[in-house]
Amino acid sequence: MLGDSIGKNFLAIIVVALVLLILLLFYLRVYTRHNQNIYVPKLEGLQIEEASSILKSKGLNIEITDSIFRKDAVPGAIIEQTPKPNSRVKTGRNIYVSIYSKNPQQISIPELADYSLRQAEALLSSMGFDQLSIEKVPSQYDGLVIAVEYKGRTLRANEKIPAGAPLTLVVGTTQLSDSLNIDNEYIISPHSNVDSGNRTQSPNRVLKENNSTKIDDSFF
């Protein structure tokens, strides 16, 4: 009797376990939407509007995560996607894409006045500005940046301009000041004459003095 009772209980436990396992598998099948996966289409090269329409027709969503500007690229075209093409996903999944931007990124230019030319070039190059030209002007200090110009206009501190735009660094130099010798020259008026005694005398003054000399007609 006791042995039969133990056998029945053991058999009942096995049956209950099998039923629970079947129910669990059925629940997981429904929860994970088995056999309802969707293959992700290839989106690279498509415009964002076209890709969005394709994904919506499949029950998927699109989300832009990054944009890059390139002059020779088609604006709005998709560069890459995640998940990759032919990946299996469930309905309602977001597909993340990177696209080519229609406008270049705007970057803030820091205050570079009184930076050395080498420091300014290194900093701008690290920010992606590789088209740099140098304009040297007379200055008391040699090799220091005086201003940064964009399209002939002096930039304000932290002003934003398109990434990679050509810039002009206005740099001071003492060589131009020395070559002009402005402080050591004597500027002579073109209206003045130099006599043999190295004295200058204005022709207007000479004419005035001649006109002031009166001749007495009584001598004739």
- List, for residues 87-138, the tens digit of each pLDDT value: 999 889 999 999 998 888 899 999 999 999 999 999 999 998 999 999 999 9
Domains of the chain: residue spans and CATH: 38-100 (3.30.10.20), 106-181 (3.30.10.20)
Which runs of consecutive H residues, i.e. helices, occur in 98-144? 117-126
- Nearest 5°: the CA angle 190, 195, 197 is 130
Q: pTM score, two decimals?
A: 0.48
- List, for residues 55-93, the tens digit of each pLDDT value: 999 999 999 999 888 878 899 999 999 999 999 998 899
Cβ atoms of residues 169 and 176 within 8 Å = no
- Nearest 5°: the CA angle 89, 94, 96 is 110
